[in-house]
Amino acid sequence: MNITIARLRSFVKYNGPLETVLDSFFENYVRFQRDNPQHNYRTYNVSFDGQQPKRIPENIEWADVIVIPSDSEFRYHGELQMNPKDLAKSQSHIERIAPFFKGKDVIMWRSDRGDTEELYRSFLPDIKSFQTIDEVDFSGNIHGMKYHFIQTLKNPLSAIIGNEKTTDFAYWGRMKHGNDREKTIRKIYRSKLSTIMIGGFPSGIERQSKWIKDWKILYPMLEKARCTLCFNWIDQTATTSRYPEALSIGMIPFVWRDYDSNNTYNIEDYQRVETHDEFIRKALALRDDDTFERLKQRYRNNYSKVLLSEDEYYNEFSSRMSLTLG
């Protein structure tokens, strides 16, 4: 079978974990290719050899199956947070390859609730079949892989002497419209909490940096923080990577209202907050070192009950890929 992995928008130069949002999927795919030599593999706007990724439309045309690692495709369809010239350039690439999707089988790796089959079919209408491998199909979310990845960044001495926490709250990522996130983050920023803000934020919030994908840069900026707040969007049963990322960093993840309403992360009631005032009160309580350490260890233990090993994540990924390939 001929398989092409295709990034339709921004490229991915995959050199290993902790450099791209979808590293949990990519790391498993590298191993899947090695373990399944019966298939033929090509790329579009993706590289695994350290070279600059290339857009080769012929590799889309050649494929029987196209794998789309998808995050934030929805931003190109209404919720525009980009330069119009960049959008126009991106659309020109889509127009060039769209005819080659006719009659193709597509597998989407999903890491954003706004990225759906309906969305892709709206601009690639001639796709034959569309199947999804979702981050939430895996125990603890496939981005539980990030929990393991981030552990490799820790200074061995910190396990012995500890890591001093000097900041109350950290947030890393981008805003999504149509929920309480922007309003809540703004109120937290204006409160008595000390903050670290990395990514895209509402006007009036001074950030330490724009969005950073490389965790080797991001990690030391976040490790001094005591807690974060996890939001969901569209689907409250779903989970996000921020939760395991925070626990791995050594941060306490609080969650907004009915985030992960099926409680697949094994979240305690105390972690759920209904208002920004409640969150601020709980965050301030973490300035007591004993309280912070006790809760951090308890929440890590809770998540460890659903977290898989890297091999277990791979086995599940491989099984799902093989099933979708038929």
- Tell me the average confidence (pLDDT) per consecutive run of 10 residues in the chain, 326 residues long: 97 96 98 98 98 98 98 77 78 95 98 93 96 98 98 74 87 78 94 96 91 94 98 90 98 98 98 98 98 98 99 99 96
pLDDT at position 157 is 54
The number of domains in the chain is 2
CATH, residue 204: 3.40.50.2000
CATH, residue 46: 3.40.50
Rounded CA separation 102/211 (Å) = 35
DSSP single-letter state for residue 197:
E
User: Within this chain, do residues 57 and 179 fall inside the same structural domain, yes or no?
Assistant: no
Closest listed residue to residue 145, CA positions, set 313, 257, 282: 313
pLDDT at position 161 is 54
User: Within this chain, do residues 321 and 216 fall inside the same structural domain, yes or no?
Assistant: no
Contact (CB, 8 A) for 195 and 221: no
User: Within this chain, do residues 81 and 161 fall inside the same structural domain, yes or no?
Assistant: no
User: Within this chain, do residues 284 and 215 fall inside the same structural domain, yes or no?
Assistant: yes
DSSP single-letter state for residue 307:
P
User: Within this chain, do residues 75 and 112 fall inside the same structural domain, yes or no?
Assistant: yes
User: Within this chain, do residues 128 and 181 fall inside the same structural domain, yes or no?
Assistant: no
pLDDT at position 286 is 99
Contact (CB, 8 A) for 17 and 214: no
Round to the nearest angstrom and report the end-to-end CA distance of the chain.
10
User: Within this chain, do residues 91 and 167 fall inside the same structural domain, yes or no?
Assistant: no
State the residue range of the domain holding 261: 144-304
Under 8 Å CB-to-CB from 254, ≥6 apart: which residues?
A: 227, 228, 229, 230, 271, 272, 273, 279, 282, 283
pLDDT at position 73 is 86
pLDDT at position 279 is 99
